[in-house]
Structure 1
Amino acid sequence: MTAPGPLSVVLAGGGTAGHVSPLLATAEALLRLDPATRVTVLGTAEGLEARLVPAAGLDLRVLPRVPLPRRPTVDLLRVPGRLAGAVAAARRVLTEVSADVVVGFGGYVATPAYLAARQARVPVVVHEQNALPGLANRVGARLTPWVATTFEGTPLRGAQRVGLPLRAAVAGLDRDALRGEARAALGLRPDLVTLLVTGGSLGAQRLNDVLPAVRADLAAAGVQVLHVSGRGKTVTVPDLGAGPGAGTVVPYVVEPYLDRMDLAYAACDAVVCRAGAGTVCELSALGLPAAYVPLPVGNGEQRRNAEPLVAAGGGLLVADADLTPAWVRTTLLPLLADPDRLAAMAGAARAHGVLDAADRLAGMVVRAATGGTP
């Protein structure tokens, strides 16, 4: 599909990588369709978008955050005024850039963007990352027939499953071709089974506590670790010394955050991770077997994100409280030592994944902007 002419597209979302990554992937896909497309991003000053959107060469316009209190407090009384101010700010941006369409990915700025688009009579496209939708996208889905989801069965009216938009660096990743370079760049050995541990952009203290505690067991099994801890999170890795002979050290590399997650994915053979939508979809699309440890708070959306993939044989599911050193020794280490089982799990994951979601969503955005039908 090619766009009929240059469009002005406003993408709204931010906060964590779960919102920012699919937003950036969609921007890439829109610019592949037509490099003349004007892409403007609505985000916050505090989220990852404040750094990643300008780094991608895109125009970021900052809106005030409008968090909704989870309980009735005095802050609830301030929400209408804050929301009205954010809607007015979003409306000014839509007017300035002559927006043809607004695409929302959830988060603090999505609701003001949806309401501003409704006022300005600009078409809205909603993309929901998780199996259970957030409040912003539940609002947005009531304002438009253009609703896209990552997973089947997401309870939004008129939803079409397109998958999760993945950036080209991930969707087009040749893990085998990049593995040697990736391991060298990350301080890993080229010859060892490699486990990636990641709690997402914010990290996960449970993973940060349990995996280092079994470093000796992992090293004894010849498993090296790349551990992405999350900024501000603490990881204490026991020092095992140099071992009995030169060259026998098994690395345990800790990085607070990686902009180049494609290198991490290329370097590893398996993953222990949370079950955010972005993580589940990236790993399945790349055929990476994983043990998913859903966040134990919230409305259970992370477990729902991972369940279909696990049921298809593409991963393991372990409750946060059950992720213990004993579980690593009795369940994870035998998996890492079984290449045939890892290969079968990788194949099942790859069969479940979607690589072209960004192009699917970009096509929907163009149709919405040009008067098409859902």
Structure 2
Amino acid sequence: MRVVLAGGGTAGHIEPALALADALRHLDRSVGITCVGTERGLETRLVPARGYELELVPAVPLPRAITPSLLTVPGRLAGAINATAAILDRVKADVLVGFGGYVATPAYLAAKRRGVPIVVHEANPRPGLANRLGARLTDHVFSGFPDAALPKAEFIGTPLRREIVTLDRLSTGDKARSWFGLENDRPTLLVFGGSQGARSINEAALAAAPALRRAGIQVLHVLGPKNTAPHEPPPGDPQYVLLPYVDRMDLAYAAADLALCRSGALSCAELTAVGLPAAYVPLPYGNGEQRLNAERIAAGGGGLLVDDAQLSPEWIIHNLLPILRDPERVAVMSEAASRLGRKDADIMLARKVLEIAR
């Protein structure tokens, strides 16, 4: 059996696809897996690193407004469809699974042209253009959000890496804090914003560093690979560990008592799966899906929600310090976050895909 996975651009599209790939191989070692992406996305680094075959097709961004670039879309889209159809033919694809992003649109249209069954997974409450199109071409639509705005969508959660869904934060905590050079007996705040849109989070956390230290709080701060710190906190105690990127986010989650982060679908799915409460700062642009992700968790007691414009060093001090100083409150929020998480979406989707392909 040959499965083709189409999802690229950001980790939010790529990581669920790779988690599904791992689950498919877990269920059936003989399954052949090919990932389709574009040269401009993170898939060029993430997919080969996980040992999967990657085929590249031209990226065709779809303008959201009527501009001169709209006139070039049909020709470029036709080229991408033909390139993807050639991949489906070459690998003898039995099913195509799309996760959204630039590559998904030509993949869905190529699969429809070739008569290859289509499966759509949408992690966000508000789907993008590609998955809205894909959902019109198939009855096999699955979502990572309970009330996703896609017809026929079945809620199963978002596929996550095994090292995330099998993580026991309590038993791994001491090892994880030692890994990052942190102490074992201090409350720990994890700060991360991803590669995009992390500037306001980085600036607010660094400005709050002196007050956090005075309160005995240690910080693990992941700037994001495309970001630089406006200034670095001076060496001192408690530790303020500043890193550009972390490959072992499972250990970062295990080291922390509370997180400060954006509320993309993947981050929300991972944090609830591991039971780590967080203060969520939705991106102030886009179609509002990050706010919907965070509202659900905040309403369930597993986190806080703050607008990007309201985030400040003072907000961190007044709102996060009381939580970090109260282990009982942290435990209650952790349990609430865990109740909202799904740990079996990768296996559930893999079984669906195999059933559809057969």
* TM-score normalised by length of structure 1: 0.93
Instruction: Tell me how far 1:239 sits from its aligned partner.
Output: 3.6
**Cα pair distance change 1:77/1:260, threshold 3 Å:** same
Correspondence for 2:344: 356
Instruction: Tell me how far 1:24 sits from its aligned partner.
Output: 0.6
Distance in 1 (alpha carbons) for counterparts of 2:248 and 2:80: 33
Aligned: 1:110 with 2:104: yes
Instruction: Tell me how far 1:232 sits from its aligned partner.
Output: 2.0
Aligned residue runs from structure 1 range 154-233, under 5 A: 154-202=148-196, 204-233=198-227
Partner deviation per Cα, 1:252-297 (whole Å, 9 max, x = no partner)? 1122222211111111111001000000111011110100000010
**Cα pair distance change 1:62/1:238, threshold 3 Å:** closer
Distance in 1 (alpha carbons) for counterparts of 2:294 and 2:79: 37
Report the 3-state secondary structure (helix = DSSP H, G, I; strand = E; otherwise coil) of the residue aligned with 1:308. Answer: helix
Correspondence for 1:246: none
Aligned: 1:54 with 2:52: no
Distance in 2 (alpha carbons) for counterparts of 1:239 and 1:229: 13
Distance in 1 (alpha carbons) for counterparts of 2:224 and 2:233: 21
Aligned residue runs from structure 1 range 76-95, under 5 A: 76-95=70-89
Distance in 1 (alpha carbons) for counterparts of 2:300 and 2:233: 39
Report the 3-state secondary structure (helix = DSSP H, G, I; strand = E; otherwise coil) of the residue aligned with 2:320. Answer: helix
What amino acid maps onto 1:300 in structure 2?
G
Aligned: 1:365 with 2:353: yes
Instruction: Decide whether the 8 Å contact of 1:203 with 1:229 is kept in 2.
Output: no
Instruction: Decide whether the 8 Å contact of 1:275 with 1:303 is kept in 2.
Output: yes
**Cα pair distance change 1:46/1:162, threshold 3 Å:** same
Instruction: Decide whether the 8 Å contact of 1:11 with 1:39 is kept in 2.
Output: yes
What amino acid maps onto 1:331 in structure 2?
N
Aligned residue runs from structure 1 range 205-354, under 5 A: 205-242=199-236, 249-354=237-342
Correspondence for 2:7: 13
Q: 1:43 aligns with which of 37, 40, 50?
A: 37
Q: 1:153 aligns with which of 147, 152, 168?
A: 147
Instruction: Tell me how far 1:203 sits from its aligned partner.
Output: 5.0
Aligned: 1:127 with 2:121: yes
Instruction: Tell me how far 1:44 sits from its aligned partner.
Output: 1.4
Distance in 1 (alpha carbons) for counterparts of 2:308 and 2:16: 26
Distance in 2 (alpha carbons) for counterparts of 1:90 and 1:354: 32
Distance in 1 (alpha carbons) for counterparts of 2:99 and 2:221: 28
What amino acid maps onto 1:210 in structure 2?
A
Instruction: Tell me how far 1:339 sits from its aligned partner.
Output: 1.0
Q: 2:138 aligns with which of 116, 141, 144?
A: 144
Alignment identity in percent?
Answer: 54
Instruction: Tell me how far 1:14 sits from its aligned partner.
Output: 1.0
Greater CA deviation, 320-329 or 101-110? Answer: 320-329
What amino acid maps onto 2:95 in structure 1?
V
Query: What is the CA RMSD across the aligned residues, in angstroms?
Result: 1.1
Instruction: Tell me how far 1:241 sits from its aligned partner.
Output: 4.8
Report the 3-state secondary structure (helix = DSSP H, G, I; strand = E; otherwise coil) of the residue aligned with 2:276. Answer: coil
**Cα pair distance change 1:357/1:241, threshold 3 Å:** closer
The size of the alignment, in residue pairs, is 358
Ranges in structure 1 where 5+ consecutive residues have no aligned partner: 1-6, 243-248
Instruction: Tell me how far 1:237 sits from its aligned partner.
Output: 4.1
* TM-score normalised by length of structure 2: 0.98
> Structure 1 stretches (4+) deviating beyond 4 angstroms?
none
Partner deviation per Cα, 1:205-251 (whole Å, 9 max, x = no partner)? 11011000010011111111111111221213454454xxxxxx111
What amino acid maps onto 1:84 in structure 2?
A
Greater CA deviation, 342-351 or 227-236? Answer: 227-236
Instruction: Tell me how far 1:73 sits from its aligned partner.
Output: 1.7
